[in-house]
Structure 1
Amino acid sequence: MQYKTVELVIEGKTATLFLNRAESMNAMNIKMIDEITKALKEVAASSVNLLFITGKGRVFSSGGDLKTMLSSTDESMFHPVMDQIKNMIVTLYTMKAVTVSFINGAAAGLGLSLALACDYVKLEKSAKVAMNFINIGLVPDGGGHFFLKKRLGEHKAKQIIWEGKSIPANDALQLGIVDEIYEGDIEEQLTFMKTKMEARPIQAMIASKMIYSTQELQHLVETLNLETMNQLEMRNTEDHREGVAAFLEKRIPHFSGK
């Protein structure tokens, strides 16, 4: 299948999914979310047992496309987009393959949620991550609550969400948000990881993954549904409107708690 916003390369039992809106820092618009989902389903239906996800250009993904958000303020557009985000994340989380995200440059918001849905999360040495929905008066989506709680525990996950700060690589590793820091050319990293995994009993690894994903799937879906419900509520707040205005005007937002 041909895609416009992503590039999918399948070689034997290994697939690499490149987020490919480099001119927009791989911000996820409706088209890209749909194509990521279709590409993931293509991989899931194949014999692939190892999937890499990374970004073309300078960053992995800057998150959801704010232009899309501003142009789809009515509820009739909101729910189909959130349903597709849920479809994307569940497909990745339940895939019968070992999945690895290589975060180059930065991963923020929905981009970070996508990366965290993978089995391994690797971060470029100079890259940063941010669960920064709070800066425009929103809550994380894409299962961000679920994945951060899994990695950090509820208490620390709340702090990361509430602060919305950009976190450099070493701090992200120390906190446990990511699993490993990498340096150097991404193609070399992909080749190294592929060689490493080819020497492992990957079917046994996938079997363990499926035990956990089967146990936790209902919790993930419940979290995604709660995120949708709360995201819609937050989109109607004064704080969200102020956050978006401040972002567009490149100034510090002045929130009122309303």
Structure 2
Amino acid sequence: MNALDPYAAAALRLALKDAMADTSLRVQVLVLHGAGGHFCTGFDLKHKRVAGEEGALQDCFRILQDGPLPSIAAIEGNAFGAGVSLALACDQMVASRQTKICAPFTDIGLVPDVGMAITMERRVGPGNARRWMYEGSVVLADEALATGLIDACAEQGQALEVALGQAGRWAQRVPLAIAAVRRLSSLPQALMEQVFAEEHRLQAELAATEDFAEGVNAFRDRRKPVFQRR
């Protein structure tokens, strides 16, 4: 279901970096789309967390935000955890009507990553964003569209087509003007660097707790976790 591991995150970072560096005008808009019916279900909990795995996705965020090319997330199926963070880094989000969006970090005792605490609030306001992040709520496409979490809703299997249509309209604009608009929009990026630093500190602290181990084990065992606040 397109779960991320450190190798996939590093490969995505390289692909985004190469695309942003292409000056041939062959690439004018980036469209992120998951294969196999799902966008991305976040980091794979089957692998042991390693130092730097959040860093690769933070780099992806920086590239998507700071690069000259606009980007669109075309979401089919599930977008969970870090997959949501990645989609939120894009300029626009298109999702199919069967899409489920969820940030279940608190289920396993972690904090939302890759700036989600900021990017989700920017899209839907603090009330909805904090409720969804606190509860790990599953957000369906209709609610996501009504609240502004996504920008367009497509029929099942059509998210990529709708996203490509939007990309085609953007590609007809003056590339230098689009890049200039993106430059202006990314000026508050200094705040995000503070968020990344605090995310790194908190994730390391929480990943060392018994509650995190219990959350991961409960997820793997398909049972309800018993947290001890330690």
5+ long unaligned stretches in structure 1: 1-24
1:172 maps to what in 2? 144
TM-score, with normalisation over the residues of structure 2?
A: 0.91
Asked whether the equivalents of residues 29 and 171 of structure 2 are also in contact (C-alpha less than 8 Å), the reply is no
Asked whether the equivalents of residues 98 and 140 of structure 2 are also in contact (C-alpha less than 8 Å), the reply is yes
2:40 to 61, 68, 75: 61
Bigger relative CO (Cα 8 Å, ≥ 6 apart): 2
CA–CA distance in structure 1, aligned partners of residues 104 and 193 of structure 2:
22
1:192 maps to what in 2? 165
**Matched positions, count:** 226
Shift of 1:237: 1.7
The one-letter amino acid paired with 1:50 is: V
Matches within 5 A, 1:237-248: 237-248=209-220
**Deviation >4 Å, runs of 4+:** none
Matches within 5 A, 1:1-258: 25-47=1-23, 48-68=27-47, 71-72=48-49, 77-78=50-51, 80-183=52-155, 184-186=157-159, 188-213=161-186, 215-258=187-230
Shift of 1:63: 0.3
Asked whether the equivalents of residues 73 and 94 of structure 2 are also in contact (C-alpha less than 8 Å), the reply is yes
CA–CA distance in structure 1, aligned partners of residues 85 and 108 of structure 2:
17
1:20 maps to what in 2? none
SS for the counterpart of 1:139 is coil
Shift of 1:190: 4.5
C-alpha RMSD over aligned residues: 1.7
Shift of 1:110: 0.4
SS for the counterpart of 1:153 is helix
5+ long unaligned stretches in structure 2: none
CA–CA distance in structure 2, aligned partners of residues 201 and 190 of structure 1:
19
Shift of 1:99: 0.5
